[in-house]
Structure 1
């Protein structure tokens, strides 16, 4: 596939507007990051990967077997989850600049759910506006998407410019109760969607219930992305999922292992008591003031 030649993209695939988000995420405090994620539905953590780290990840993924999506030969995804291909990617599961924030957001007991590696070549059309979370499961995300709390961490290995398949999303769509927010619906575009551009080495974090998409890649270079799923341990799927291969877990880097729990880990309890013993009188994770600290 020639990187200097940009295949023609159908005019029907072009979103003819782009509202680029000007937010200065580098200036955010921890409380501001949590608020922006919970209310707006996304947050960016800039510079969580340095150039050397990016180079290492790219080198280890260079020869990965990739398959095209049904809608375009130019949008490709690794045949195998990338953490089982690359030790550097596996270490990224427990990358402190991101997982420290996730622990503040979700609590310390966190389950890693899935890894993706995407290479979006020049000429790739955009991805449709969709969610990654479906409460009854789906053919695309299996029962992973049924977890009541689930998020995605998107690590960008290339600059996310307006031309290179930048991220589109609909702020606050994850908190809508309207039928238009059904996670089983997809949209071509939305008049109030925004576009996120980012420097290589940035991570963007979104809840699975946020509507998000991409613009086409009209640049002359591909855009590479590592995407991880995480959830709090209590938020298990509604039906059993196939477990990780124990050999893969045994050979995983030590900093990743705390997150490589059973995919069926859950806090689900059917028999609840009205007045259980030992009820607590405080819980900082649900403090209304958590955004002001």
Structure 2
């Protein structure tokens, strides 16, 4: 049996695609290193900063699903916006190619979200992104689906770090199902080292959250959800 220490050791090494798929299946997530080039990130941020300003400064909010506060900006469905680099990433990016190999089908983008977690934003409680009982594209209920998180900034321990519970997509107990929420730290919580340009692929059933951002810097991500064309919604 793989121990928690063995798992942590495996996360310190870049894996071939096949081994990353095995890790994703067993652990519930995997990290793909240096997927996005610095040039691509700069192009993405150029488009996304225009989009954020359109909503928060210029009040161009029609037909947009967004939330924002002094410490957080989040907008869904950015793949429906007219931004060439964003659409290239979502529809033809390297992470999508990985998803295609992992699920054995043509990945369909259910949603793509840009989130800018600014300094002062509090931690996000541990939760899952899976809800089998409701038809909510932001909490997919497909039998096979994957969340892909593209990091546009270095992740630091005080910069909204990602918190993950390994193997939690396999939990059977009632206390750890789709409606699980916890503000406490769990014993087997794992906080990975993630650099600008890395991608985390996560099973939506995995329990995860983020820490607070007290770094004085923004932490920006693009999170996409894909399901294979052979997989149908349970609703």
TM-score bracket for this pair, using the shorter chain length: 0.7 to 0.9
Q: How many residue pairs are counted as aligned between the two chains? A: 213
Q: Does 1:63 align with 2:50?
A: yes
Query: SS where residue 58 of structure 1 aligns?
Result: helix
* Superposition pairs of residues 68-147 of structure 1, within 5 angstroms: 68=67, 73-78=70-75, 80-85=76-81, 86-137=83-134, 141-142=136-137, 145-147=140-142
Would the aligned equivalents of 1:143 and 1:237 in 2 still touch at CA under 8 Å? no
* Superposition pairs of residues 1-293 of structure 1, within 5 angstroms: 23-26=11-14, 28-64=15-51, 65=55, 67-68=66-67, 73-78=70-75, 80-85=76-81, 86-137=83-134, 141-142=136-137, 145-188=140-183, 189-239=185-235
4+ runs deviating over 3 angstroms: 66-69, 141-144
TM-score by length of 1: 0.68
What 5-or-longer segments of structure 2 have no aligned partner? 1-7, 57-65
The one-character-per-residue Cα deviations of 1:13-53 (angstroms, maximum 9, x if unpaired) are: xxxxxxxx562242x12232111101111101111111110
Residue 144 to residue 238, structure 1, CA distance change in 2 (3 Å): farther
The one-character-per-residue Cα deviations of 1:99-124 (angstroms, maximum 9, x if unpaired) are: 22212211132211101000000000
TM-score by length of 2: 0.84
Distance 2:113 2:138 in 1: 16
Q: CA RMSD for the aligned pairs?
A: 1.9
Would the aligned equivalents of 1:111 and 1:230 in 2 still touch at CA under 8 Å? yes
Query: SS where residue 110 of structure 2 aligns?
Result: strand
Distance 2:19 2:137 in 1: 33
Would the aligned equivalents of 1:143 and 1:238 in 2 still touch at CA under 8 Å? no
Distance 1:81 1:145 in 2: 14
Larger radius of gyration: 1
Would the aligned equivalents of 1:48 and 1:201 in 2 still touch at CA under 8 Å? yes
Residue 105 to residue 51, structure 1, CA distance change in 2 (3 Å): same
The one-character-per-residue Cα deviations of 1:83-140 (angstroms, maximum 9, x if unpaired) are: 23322111111334222221221113221110100000000011111111110016xx
Q: Which residue of 2 aligns with 1:261?
A: none
Would the aligned equivalents of 2:146 and 2:201 in 1 still touch at CA under 8 Å? yes
Distance 2:12 2:103 in 1: 23
Would the aligned equivalents of 1:25 and 1:44 in 2 still touch at CA under 8 Å? no
What 5-or-longer segments of structure 1 have no aligned partner? 1-20, 240-293
Would the aligned equivalents of 1:130 and 1:212 in 2 still touch at CA under 8 Å? yes
